[in-house]
Amino acid sequence: MLATRIFLTEECLNIKRLLDDTLRHAYGSAKSEEFYNECRARLNSLSAQVDVIDEANLAEIHTLASQIHILSDTITKIERSHIGELSWPFALVIKEMALEVCRENVAAANEEDPLFFFSANGGMFVYAVSPERTASLSRRRIFNVVFPRSFKYQVLLHTILGHEIGHVAYAYHELKHELETKVTTVLLQGSPFTSISDFRDWLEKTYKLKLSAPALNDALARWRQEYFCDLFGLLIMGPSFLPAYRSLFHLLDYTGSRYSATHPPIMSRYSMLQDALTFLGWEKWEGINHQNLQQPLNSMYGPMRQHVSSIPAAMRILAPKQVEAATTALQDILRRMRNTLYIHPKPDELSEIVSALLEGTPAICTKIKVPKRGNKKRYVANDPIDFRHILFAGWLAIYHDLRDKRELSLFKINRLCDRSILHQDAINTWTEHFEKELVPKNVGN
């Protein structure tokens, strides 16, 4: 048997070789440098600890070996991260949003901005953001955002990642504390998920289940966080979160009431989301007079409402009043974080996007305009569109009566939405770097 120090020293050298191998792949020079430097810094730190390890201190060896294992795992995942396997325009907007959620807490924790990398795994239910709980080895955390490989262009389903960004928010101690006290506690007030004893009684009554104290504690903490993340996902992704949620989770557990140690029963979560949706007024949208919107809204939400009405009382666990209060509290917190809170578009704007998709074209549509004053030379205008409005319009296009007549498959609608997000990225890149040089002086209203 190799001495522990020799073995771990060798493994650190192996990881160094592995890290260098990641540079064989084309990530783009700027993209790889930050990851390389961060992993290299961690590896140097671990190597230094291995050099002075006390062979008799088994606990320390175990901790160190575990950290080396995690670093090896992270670098391997980074090596396998290829943008050709996922919708990178969507990945970029998700990354921006997650960074905004982290931003104020990063400063408070004396850390640098976290690094996000994207990878694709097999299976339909693999959506995840794996956040590092601490930045112990350095001052920078690495988050892995996982997409299902077969859903490369299924951007309408990717709204599920809104839930996962909730977990990112929970990874920061200060923010977690605020979210727990102002949102989660309010959301769950009056439910069996406020104390260990209530939770234990409810599990025994509902599932005839008896858990050990540690398992009970762990399950309760996880369930509380999951309820929060559902609400978080809805508020940052908007109305398209729910149809994506239902499409996927219905397949995950068709009964909707199955026990899981990590997630609350789906029916109870779904019922909570429907209450939040009603409170937000997104399902009926008072005052709109667009057939283009009303028909698909009814077609989309009608069956969902019906589904919720069939949920047994035992699974309607969270009180609608608590859901409303928690929604308001979370909205207040999200307003602090730039561009994270979903804002409903004007009906005319949304109707225009739906029409573009039903015409078989992307939602971003350059307009030719005439200035209201000055010379009448026409100019091009690209009004920015929030990617969440594109996704909402995408779902409405899917439920629109005209979709079949125009032979627009689900795949085509998804790809048009993906293309729209890409076009917006092009416009943003142009605006950020070049537009000031070329915009004509007479442009404007």
Partner 1 sequence: MSVISSTRILDLIQQGKMYLSPILCMEQIGAISVDLRLGNMALLVRGSGTSHVDPRAYAKHDAHGTSRTQRQKFDQHEFMFREQFLLHPGSLALVPTLEWIKLPTNVKGVVTARSCWAREGLNIATANFINPGYNGIITLELSNLGQIPIALFAGMRIAQIAFHDVTPDAAGEFAVSQFQMSFEPRAGDIVKHDRSFIPFLGEKRKK
Does 440 engage in binding with partner 1 (CB under 8 A)?
A: yes
Residue 155 CB neighbour total at 10 angstroms? 29
**221 or 439, CB closer to partner 1?**
439
406 binds partner 1 (CB under 8 A): no
Residue 121: which of 160, 70, 91, 81 has the closest Cα? 81
What is the distance between the alpha carbons of residues 404 and 398, in angstroms, rounded to a whole number? 9
Q: What is the dihedral of CA 339, 345, 351, 356, to 10 degrees?
A: -10
Tell me the closest approach of the beta carbon of residue 380 to partner 1, in angstroms.
5
Identify the DSSP state of 83.
G
Q: Which is nearer to partner 1, 30 or 59 (CB)?
A: 30
- List 379, 386, 399, 402, residue binding partner 1 (CB under 8 A): 379
- Residue 384 binds partner 1, judged by CB under 8 A: no
Per-residue tokens: 181: 């006290």
Which runs of consecutive H residues, i.e. helices, occur in 359-400?
387-398
Least distance to partner 1 from the beta carbon of 359, Å?
Answer: 7
Q: Is 419 in the site for partner 1 (CB under 8 A)?
A: yes
When the beta carbons of 248 and 427 are compared against partner 1, the nearer one is 427
| Nearest distance in Å: CB 19, partner 1 | 21
Residue 164 CB, nearest approach to partner 1 (Å): 22
Given 33, 113, 401, 435, the residue binding partner 1 (CB under 8 A)? 435
Cβ neighbour number for residue 379 with a 10 Å cutoff: 14
Instruction: By CB under 8 A, tell whether 389 contacts partner 1.
Output: no
Q: Can residue 415 be called a binding residue for partner 1 (CB under 8 A)?
A: yes
Nearer to partner 1 (CB atom), residue 59 or residue 368: 368
Residue choice 10, 367, 401, 410 for contact with partner 1 (CB under 8 A): 367
Rule CB under 8 A: say whether 365 interacts with partner 1: yes
Q: Does 140 bind partner 1 (CB under 8 A)?
A: no
* Residue 386 binds partner 1, judged by CB under 8 A: no
3-state secondary structure 309-346: HCCCHHHCCCCHHHHHHHHHHHHHHHHCCCCCCCCCCC
Nearer to partner 1, 89 or 256 (CB): 89
Among 17, 56, 84, 122, binds partner 1 (CB under 8 A): 84
Q: Which residues of 169-197 are buried (b: 16+ CB within 10 A; e: fewer)?
A: bbbbeebbeebeebbbbbbbeebbbeeee
Q: Quick check: 316 binds partner 1 (CB under 8 A)?
A: no
Measured at the alpha carbon of residue 87, what is the angle toward residues 82 and 90, in degrees to the nearest 5? Answer: 120
Distance from C-alpha of 283 to C-alpha of 395, rounded to nearest angstrom: 13
CA pair distance 269, 318, nearest whole angstrom: 9
In the bound complex, what is the minimum distance in angstroms from residue 92's beta carbon to partner 1? Answer: 7
CB of 155 to partner 1, least distance (A): 13
Q: State the minimum distance, in angstroms, from the CB of residue 138 to partner 1.
A: 26
Query: Residue 298 interacts with partner 1 (CB under 8 A)?
Result: no
Rule CB under 8 A: say whether 383 interacts with partner 1. Answer: no
Please state, as a whole number, how many other Cβ atoms lie within 10 Å of the Cβ of residue 262: 10
How buried is 134 (Cβ within 10 angstroms: 0-12 exposed, 13-18 middle, 19+ buried)? exposed
Q: Are strands 142-148 and 115-121 parallel, antiparallel or unpaired?
A: parallel
Q: How far is the CB of 365 from partner 1 (least distance, A)?
A: 5
Q: Is 35 helix (H, G, I), strand (E, B) or coil?
A: helix
Q: Which stretch binds partner 1 (CB under 8 A): 104-112, 202-210, 306-314, 432-440?
A: 432-440
Taking CB under 8 A as the rule, which mask of x and - marks residues 13-52 in contact with partner 1? -------------x-xx-x---------------------
CA terminus-to-terminus distance, the chain: 78
CB 270 within 8 A of CB 245: yes
How far is residue 194's CA from residue 180's CA, in Å, rounded to a whole number? 11
Question: For residues 162 and 362, which CB has a smaller minimum distance to partner 1 in the complex?
Answer: 362
CB of 26 closer than 8 Å to CB of 81? no
Q: What DSSP line would sit under 165-197, residue for residue? A: HHHHHHTSHHHHHHHIIIIIHHHHTTSTTSSHH
Taking CB under 8 A as the criterion, the residue among 123, 281, 360, 384 binding partner 1 is 360
In the bound state with partner 1, the residue whose beta carbon lies nearer, of 286 and 432, is 432
Footprint of partner 1 (CB under 8 A): 26, 28-29, 31, 83-84, 88, 92, 359-362, 364-368, 378-380, 382, 412, 415, 419, 422-423, 425-427, 429-430, 433, 435, 438-440
